[in-house]
Amino acid sequence: MMARVLLAGYIAELLHERERLLRAAGYQVTVGQSWATATTSIEQELFDVAVLDFSIPEEERNQMALALKQKNSSIKIIMLYFSSIKNTELADALMPTSAAAQETVRAVNHMLSGIDRSKPA
């Protein structure tokens, strides 16, 4: 089963390379480039991993993370940050946005390495 990744952020240019590399790595990627598209995706789909970009305001990012965890308690959440980040209790990993886009693929691979996706969450 192909792992499902939500890639959320509000600046398309910042998401493009990460999306391309995640797809090339074999992941099914849904991109949420606005609050509406991200929350609709969260309501309609079950994700294995979510990558939340620093471009999402802190309060919205926390609401997204909470909604993701409520929908699937085993989801892994990676939060990208620019220079600092607060309220990361729901994050499973933190990554500076300056990290190469390929690092996102490595982080997703690592998050999924211990998950049995054959069982429902």
pLDDT per residue as tens digits for the range 9-30: 998 888 999 999 999 999 999 9
CATH annotation of 4-112: 3.40.50.2300
Alpha carbon distance 42, 69 (integer Å): 10
Between 118 and 29, the more confident residue is 29
Q: Stretch 105-111: mean pLDDT, rounded?
A: 88
pTM over 0.75: yes
121 pLDDT more than 60: no
Residue 83 DSSP code: S
Of the pLDDT bands very low, low, confident and very high (cuts 50, 70, 90), residue 1 is low
Tokens representing residue 118 in the block: 């054959």
